[in-house]
Structure formats: C-alpha cells, structure tokens
Chains A and B, each alone.
Chain A
Amino acid sequence: MRHACLRILRKPSIAAFMLLCSAFAAPLAAQHNGARPAAAASPPEDGQWTMPSRDYASTRYSGLNQITRSNVRNLKLAFTFDTLNRKGHEAAPIVVGNMMYLTTPYPNHVWALDLSKGGRAVWVFRPHPAPASQGIACCDVVNRGAMYANGRLFFTTLDGEVFAIDAKSGHQVWRNKIGDISKGETITMSPLVAEGKVLVGNSGGEMGVRGWLAALDAGTGRLAWKAYSTGPDKDVLIGPSFKPYYASDRGADLGVHTWPAEAWKIGGGTVWGWISYDPQLKMIYYGTGNPGPWNAQQRPGDNKWTTGVFARDIATGQARWFYQSSPHDLFDHDDINEQVLLDMPIHGRMTPVLVRPGRNGYMYVIDRRTGQVYSAEAYGFINSMDGVDLATGRVRMVKEKAPKEGRVIRNICPTASGVKDWNPSAFSPRTGLLYVPHENMCMDEGVFEANYIAGTPYVGADVKMYAGPGGHRGVFTAWDPVRAKPVWEIKESLPLWSGALATGGDVVFYGTMDGWFKAIDASAAGGGRLLWQVRLDSGIISQPVSYRGPDGRQYVAVVTGVGGWAGAIVSAQLDPRDPTAALGMVNAMRDLPGRTKPGGTLYVFALPK
C-alpha cells in the first residue's frame, strides 16, 4: 500500500486521496494488489454523483469517508421520497450540488429534489412515452438512470427517446426519438455523456431488433454517428483503424458472414448496459447484447458482433478493437456488463486494463489499448463452459450443455441471466478489490424454432431457472482482479439485482431483493462481515450512491422498488404456476411475492449530527 500511495502521490490530482492512504496504510499494507482506477477517468472526490457509474472509469466508489466501519451501525434515516411508481426501480440517484435527480421506470418521470430543503421536490419532468412501449420491454419497464453534464440532465425513455433537460429548471432542451417501438426497440440504459457526445444504445434483444449504439450531439441532440452491432463493416463503423487482437475477429464484413443470410438484420446485439470512457485514449468501451433468437441453431456462425466488447473512438465511432466473450452465444449471455477501467500490474508492469465481470461468469481482464485478454477466471459456478483459451480468446463450450432443438437440456449453469446480470459492481482503490453482486443459478432449457414477426418476441426457448449448487441464489463477491481470485463471498438467499457502492470509509453497500440494505466491511481481512442492515419497504434492484450533502455530511442513498427481470413476479404479478414465465425467471423467484412487495421509495441515510 505504501508503494501505491507513493505512486499516487506523484499525481497532484489525487492529493486528497493521499491522506486516506496514510491513515489506513498500516493495516492494509500487506494486502493491496496495486490496482487503481485509470487516473484520467476517475477524478478526485467532489462529493457529487453525476452519473450512475460515478466516473468514466465506472468505479462506483465514493471517496467520502465519514461513514466508517466503526460508525456505520449508527446510520439513521435522513429523509425518504416516494416516486409514486411501483415498477422496478433500477436507476441510480444523481446528485449535483444541492440537487438530487431521480428517474423512474416507465413513464420515466424525472424528479428533482432539493437536498438543502430536506429532499423536497422542486420539479418533475414527465416525458409521456408511448404506452405501447410497455408491451415490448423484455424484463420490466425499467430505466437505469440519468446523467448530468454541463448544467443538463440527459436521460432516455422506454419508447426510444433521448431527452436533455435543464437541470435547474427542468425545462426540455432537446429531445430526439432514436428508437422505433414498432420494430421492438426500447431504451432502458443510462446515457453516457463525454466529449460533447451523448451515447445511447437500444434494448430489445428478445424482440429481433438490430442492436446499435448512437452518439448524439450533447448541444443539439443531432445524431453524430451510429454503430450497429451486426451487418456490413460500414454499418458497424469498422475501418482501417480496427485492429482486434484475436484472429477470429479479423476479416471483411464478418457481421454478415458469420450469420445465415438476412439473419443479421434481426440479430440482436443490443447495447443496453454500461459504457466506460478513457479520456486519455479517447476510447469508449461497451458491450453488445445477445444474438437473436436465443435458439442458437437458427443462427449458425459466430454471430459477430454480438456478445462482445467494443472499443471505439469517441469522436468518430470507428471501432478500434473487439473481443467476443461468447462467439455463437448459446445462453443469452449479453455482454453488456460494466467495464471498470483500472491500471494494474500485469507481469510486473502497470498496464491499462478494463476489468469486466462477464455475464458468462468469467472475470475478464482486458488490455484497454489492444483488446488482449490477460486473464479470465470464473467468479461463480459454471458447468456449461470450461474456461477461456487465452491464446485464441475463445471460451471453451461444454458440448453436452449446448441446447438442441426439440430437447430439454438440464442443469445448465449459469442461467440465461448469467453469473451476473446488468447490476454493476464497485471498485475500491483503497482495498484494490472489485465488489461484485451476482447470482448463483442454473436452468433447464429447451429450444425450438422461433418465428419472426416484427415487434413481437423472437426467442425460441423454454427456460426454467432454479438455485445453483448450495441452494443460495445470490452471491456478493470481493474479487482481487490482480490475483484473479475471490477474497471473500457472502451467500444470499435471493439473487442480487442491485448495484454495489464502495466508499472511502471501507464500507460497501448493496441491497437484496427482499428489501435489506446492507453495509459490509470492505477489507480483505474483514471476510465480508455484515456491519449494518436495514429492512426497507420493497426489494432493492437499484444502484446505491453516496454524496456529500449541503450540510457537509456524507449521505448514502438507495431507491427501493422491486422489479426487473428477477422481480417482475412481484411488480407485474406474474403467476408462479408457470415455471417458464418471464423467460424462466419466475420459477427461481416463486418465493419472492411472500418476501417483499412492490415499491418505489428513495431512502437517504446519514450519521446522526
């Protein structure tokens, strides 16, 4: 740790961080692995939370350290706010100065709360998305949050529209409809704003849409570029600067030739997850979703460029490299999870990498510059794959677990929702550990020919999910990205669908689907000790955040409101007698209606004055 601190000391931007280092260097000295967030993408703590991922490096780490391991048990409720919405709340509250902004699921209202007045609502923005969009949102009508930049708030609506509103007044600056619900396109993701561009992708991988990521001009909302995830190179924005590390990604028009004729036009690869941005390399990193339909026998080939991670130039959108986690994806393993931009020692040299807990269950450490995979170790139970071949970059599939038409293949682990779904992990530079909220589930899957009718589901699979080995459905893992192994794990009865939050006081927070909001000892030595927990009105599937309030105190905020794919059984009152309901998730969640109820309330906690 001392070495890390010394290194960090040379960078003046992290001078504040130095104080923390010296305070805790002694107890942690033996453990620190040398990993730290990419400096350019992770500005120093300013007490705000302007984007769901906290910073471009996607650390979800707040440097505030008033709440510590020793006093976290004194946390008291500061205020609450009811969003009046009872669907799944996945969004992170956004805190800018004295204001907090909350986005709700459909109908995608944006609430502005004045933190200096105890969280009183100042305005609400109602975008009125098309009601029909509710019928094509695969997994509840969620929204993953807004992003603040330059006095404006950027957010998306379920019916495929991007809004920029004035953060002070709540007046609309521009709007741009970029998704078409008649094709099955929705938008649930949180936009990322960088270098004057608003980056937004579409959802609808279960509806036979063609995935894309669009960059809009932040000032006007006009389309700057649009990069498709399938099809000819010119649509995918693959040009001379595209230099993938692995041979299987090289070649002309692979987005056409790795599909049956025409299939790429309805082939999925939607972009609905997280984008990270490296201001130094001027590159964005994001993952593409599953190929459609789920029935892989309908789409022989590698199905490029789905289920992989793209690095693109932010100004032009031109692809730099691509790595495919699941070529010819068999299990709906959308690769949209967060990529945490870290600098860490690889073979003794500090290397710029991105660390991403893949949906397929492997923790990828990939070189940010080239796309080379340095390590890919399982962070959950996997039996449908047998490791990643680092020489070719390809994951080794287990033949017996591959779904076949007309059959039911049993005990496929992980499920279609993966070892980890969209819910983001957090990285603490103090411990060097990544805190990953994830799942431990398996499934039976039978596939059949899916019929494509525009605007209707295009899946072709009957799925039934259930708890994995051990009987627990959720796991909270502290992962050492340098040593590529878990440090400790917390077993949770229900799958974890909430994001994680790491703080400077060495406390990590997450929520469970039955409404417990938990504070855990972040340290490796702590072994995942539960420090504090509180039961809230509804299950938590949102992203907790921490900020410095107008009174200078550190606050922790979380929104309840169970829903999403796993929680739709409660928020949409699905019927557990049909095990295949909600793509098989209902079977795994049949006890949830007895453990929580629909909700939608913001809870803000702080230490007593």
Chain B
Amino acid sequence: MSSPFRNSFLPRALPSLHAGRGRGWVRLSKRRFASLAHPPLAPPLQGGGFIALAFLLALAGCDREQRDMNGQPKAETAAFVPRGDPRSAEYENNAFHIAQGQKWFGWFNCSGCHFHGGGGMGPPLMDDQWRYGGRMEDIVASILYGRPNGMPDWRNKITEQQAWELAAYVKSLSAHPRQDALSARADEMSNTEPQTLQERQKVVPETKAQPSGEEN
C-alpha cells in the first residue's frame, strides 16, 4: 500500500449518510477514470529552451535532499496515526461505535488473546497501562499496523472504520467512559459482567500474601 490512508473513509462510508444511495460501483468507476486523466503536457520546448531544460534537469536532483523543515522529530515506531485525527472524537464515547467495536472484538478474535479485557496471550486492556500509548490514535495504530511483540497487523483484514470502532471499544474498557455510551449487556456469555457494572479502580488482590505450607 503506497499510503496508509489511500482507502481512508470518506463520510460516504457511514451507513447513516449513505443509506439508500445505491449504484456505488458506477460512481467508483467514474472516480477511477477521473484519476486517469492527467493534466495536459507542457508545449514542446523551442529555441533557447535548452538552458531551461538544463535547469529543469538539475531540479531532478532536489528530492534527494528533501526534508520536512518544520516537522517535529518523529517517533521511531513505524506504526503511527497522527494525533488530532478528527475520527478520534467522532468514535470515542459513541454508543453505536463502542457496540460495533465490541462485536468486532469477538468476530475478529481479539477476545482470543485479550479475552474480555483481562488479557491472556495478549496484554490486558482494562488496566491503566499502555505499552504503545493509550490515545485513540495509538490504539488504532496498534490495531492496523501491529506491534513487534506479537500483535498482528490488521490493516488488510478489517476496514479502517472497524479499527476505529474497535479502538472505541478498547478505550472504553479501561478509561472512564461516558456511562450512557457503554453497553449494558455483555456480548459474551454470562461469564462476564456488562461494562456498566465493571469497577474501574486499580486492581487490588483479594488476599494478602500468606504462606501456603499450613495445609499439610
């Protein structure tokens, strides 16, 4: 994929806005033809244009020195979704997206490693520790691009919208989300409590340390 966001979601992908418009494939083809139409080429060079041509050729070397002059130093990690993505606010704390994310969480086997937030093969998601950052953008980056210690990349297995919905759900597991956005029903079977009933303070073990030698 040349750019990570080539397939980024325009608002048209949202079901509510898009309902009933149909015939998407026709439009899609049109869009493709539009992109094929290149701008007309410059008129052929004449007379003393050779000097200009030489200049132009020299310009070709410029890109090897290209750099981002005003940018901040970028993080070393390859997985990166820029901060301040407008989708962050759109998805986080949205009841529909959290519920959808909860569904994808089971469908795409996230729950096979992270279970219902407590972790197993993968790290827990309901605690307050984030190995790779806990903002929506970081979570989406973890989902889409994977992480080196075992998190697979889902870039080509789910859509970006699903990744954002998953992030909304994941975020809702640990943070203090809006209670009215949470699902009052756990999607999984009755072995877990619905999110609205989960306590959200720090983990305290139930029993204190004690030697176990006395049983004998």
A: which residues have CB within 8 A of B? 131-139, 206, 406-408, 444, 446, 448, 450-451, 453, 455-459, 462-464, 472, 490-494, 512, 514, 516, 518, 528, 530, 533, 535, 568, 572-584, 586, 590-591, 593-596
Contacts and interface: CB of A to CB of B under 8 A. Distances in A.
A305 to B, nearest CB: 25
A462 B210 contact: no
18 contacts: A132-B152, A134-B150, A135-B152, A446-B189, A462-B116, A462-B188, A491-B215, A493-B212, A514-B212, A573-B124, A574-B119, A577-B117, A577-B199, A578-B115, A581-B115, A583-B115, A591-B205, A595-B207
B117 A575 contact: yes
Contacts of A492: 212, 215
B188 A575 contact: no
A462 B191 contact: yes
Nearest to A490: B216
Given A408-B190, A451-B108, A462-B191, A574 B213 contact: no
B107 to A, nearest CB: 6
A579 B208 CA distance: 19
Given A135-B151, A591-B207, 15 more contacts: A453-B108, A456-B152, A459-B112, A462-B188, A494-B212, A533-B213, A573-B123, A577-B198, A578-B117, A578-B118, A580-B118, A581-B120, A582-B118, A583-B120, A593-B205
Contacts of A572: 119-120, 123
> What are the 5 closest A-B residue pairs judged by CB atoms, nearest first?
A135-B150, A457-B112, A581-B118, A578-B118, A446-B189
Contact of A528 (B113, B120, B216): B216
A564 B152 CA distance: 22
Contacts of B77: none
Contacts of A586: 118, 120
Interface of B: 106-109, 112-113, 115-124, 126-127, 129, 148-152, 157, 188-192, 198-199, 203, 205-213, 215-216
A581 B152 contact: no
Contacts of B191: 408, 444, 446, 462-464, 579-580, 584
B203 A576 contact: yes
Contact of B206 (A530, A581, A591): A591
A268 to B, nearest CB: 14
A516 B209 CA distance: 13
B149 A594 contact: no
Given A408-B189, A444-B191, A582 B120 contact: yes
B212 A512 contact: yes
Contacts, number: 170
A202 to B, nearest CB: 16
Contact of B213 (A131, A458, A516, A577): A516
Nearest to B150: A135
A179 to B, nearest CB: 15
Given A451-B107, A456-B109, A591-B206, A581 B150 contact: no
B37 to A, nearest CB: 39
Given A135-B149, A574-B124, A594-B205, A458 B112 contact: yes
A134 B211 CA distance: 32
Contacts of B107: 451
A571 to B, nearest CB: 11
A139 B112 CA distance: 12
A136 B113 CA distance: 8
Given A135-B151, A451-B109, A493-B215, A580 B124 contact: no
B104 to A, nearest CB: 11
A462 B109 contact: no
| Most chain B CB neighbours (cut-off 10 Å) among A206, A450, A583, A594 | A594
Contacts of A406: 189
A408 B124 CA distance: 24
Contact of B120 (A408, A568, A594): A568
A582 B119 contact: yes
Which of B120, B124, B149, B205: most chain A Cβ within 10 A? B120
Contact of A138 (B121, B123, B188): B121
